[in-house]
Amino acid sequence: MSATAAGKLDINVSETQLLADLERLGRIGLGADGGITRRALSNEDAEARSYVAERMRAAGLDVRHDEVGNLRARRPARDGATWNTRSNVVMTGSHLDSVPSGGKLDGPLGVVGAVCAVEALNAAGVQTERPIELVVFVGEEGSRFKRGTIGSAALSGHVAVADVLALVDPDGVIYRNAMATYGDSGAAIPARVERGSVHAFVELHVEQGGVLESSGTDIGAVTTIAGLVQHMVTFHGDANHAGATPMHLRRDALLAAAQWALGIERAAREVGGGAVGTVGKLTVEPGGKNIIPGRVDAICDLRAPTPELLTALAGFVISSLHGIGEQRGVEIEQQLLQRVEPGPMHELAIAAVERAAAAAGLSSLRMPSGAIHDALHVAEVAPASMIFVPSIGGKSHCPTEATQPRDLVRGVDVLARTLAILANE
Ligand code: GLV
Ligand code: MN
Ligand code: MN
């Protein structure tokens, strides 16, 4: 098949299968509020992963796992080669872990969507010159260990495998031991891929914002992914009686944290250019309604589309701590949890997404991603881009995250065509 013949492909994505897969995964880790909680390497994550592994096998894929627990599955090239191939591979994939009480699509769409895309290629009799690899990356969301995008950072070599295996969660559980929940048997393949061994990578994902919906566009072709800085900050004040302690004799840790959080809002607006800042996690101790807060642990999440803007925002956020500590008589400690540089996607992959959308008769828009994705790390070693589909109301990282079924199917259709283009050019 030539690249231009991609338009003539007879791709028929099974909407029934796609929705059934998403519905099945959407029951694993489902909470009373309708949100999904699947922490990396938890029983829920393992259950979702084994469902996907079965689906991969049913689609005719050769399923393996790597040293950090990424699930890796290959569809053979025309010559029958899967793993022992001399041609480089085309990759796609996403994650199955979630934020606390998140949505059903962030991650799973790019995973079961990839399986459904392969099934559509199989049904259309499409053969490719290069093998196609599906990856389920471990721990993208960073909800359990100190950092996120764990599986893709190991795959690109951004983080050493030994450092991943030594990560420790807040309960003291070591990553290496937590991997036992996956119950993998047999030898693991290397996590790391060499630069040049992956022809291209493309990740299907919900947009998580409102650009496609508000502009009436079917598909987003992602051009850049914003970077991220997260710090853990601890404010040490003085726990004391809420009635008996006059205002001027207090060292209230929560007021110091609140002042800091308001400063982050101001700084993000001042830095501008798409910079955003959030304090989404606060732990207040001792946490009694009649006790002045003695200690607060807070995590800030700062994002920006360029390294310069990210550095400017992070610089302000950390330098503001000194003055707040002095003013409120509160001791402050801070620790950098992670910094992920913003990164451009690659023209080879962006253009393939656009061509695939056009071949499917859909409109597309080049756009940046404000959210982090595994594609950012894969882009360190291979040309990468992403396929976005519209998010209803631009909602994500919450139980109301949703996309019209028609748009989910369109995303998988474009993924199948993109894979065919990239695996045959
Ligand atoms: C991942 O979804 C992130 O952007 O935090
Ligand atoms: Mn997410
Ligand atoms: Mn995601």
Q: pLDDT averaged over the chain? A: 96
The pLDDT assigned to 256 comes to: 98
Residue 2: predicted pLDDT: 43
| pLDDT single digits (tens) 257-313 | 999 999 999 999 999 999 999 999 999 999 999 999 999 999 999 999 999 999 999
Residues 6+ apart with CB under 8 A from 99: 106, 141, 143, 397
Q: Cβ(206) to ligand 1 under 6 A?
A: no
Total number of residues shown for the chain = 425
Q: Which atom of ligand 1 is nearest to the CA of 372?
A: 4
Ligand 1 pocket test target in 138, 141, 302, 339 with most atoms within 8 Å of CB: 141
The answer, yes or no, to whether residue 84 has pLDDT greater than 90, is: no
Tokens of residue 352, six digits: 């393939």
Element (H, E) at 368: strand 364-369
Q: Hey, is 70 helix, strand or coil?
A: coil
pLDDT tens-digit series, residues 330-343: 999 999 999 999 99
Question: Cα of 106 to ligand 3 centre, how many Å?
Answer: 4
Residue type, 337: L
Q: What is the mean pLDDT of residues 180-207?
A: 96
Read off the pLDDT of each residue in 363-372 and give the average, rounded to a whole number: 97
Which residue from 188, 70, 66, 59 is spatially nearest to 132, judged by alpha carbons?
59
- Which H or E element spans position 378? helix 374-378
Write the burial class of residue 50 (CB in 10 Å: 0-12 exposed, 13-18 middle, 19+ buried): middle
pLDDT in tens, 412-425: 999 999 999 999 99
Does the beta carbon of 141 sit less than 6 angstroms from any atom of ligand 1?
A: yes
Q: Are 33 and 119 in contact (CB under 8 A)?
A: no
Is the pTM higher than 0.75? The answer reads yes
Closest-CA residue to 49 (of 121, 100, 3, 112) = 112
Residue nearest to ligand 1 atom 1, measured at CA = 372
| Residue 6: per-residue pLDDT | 53
Do residues 340 and 372 touch, judged by C-beta distance below 8 A?
yes
> Which atom of ligand 1 lies closest to the CA of 142?
5
- The fraction of the chain above a pLDDT of 70, given in percent, is 98
Overall average pLDDT of the 31-43 stretch? 98
Confidence of residue 7 (pLDDT cuts 50, 70, 90): low
- CA–centroid distance, 226 to ligand 3, in Å, is 13
Helix (H, G, I), strand (E, B) or coil at 116: helix
DSSP E strand boundaries for 24-156: 62-65, 71-75, 89-95, 132-137
Distance 99 CA to ligand 2 centre (A): 6
How much distance in Å is there from the Cα of 372 to the middle of ligand 3? 7
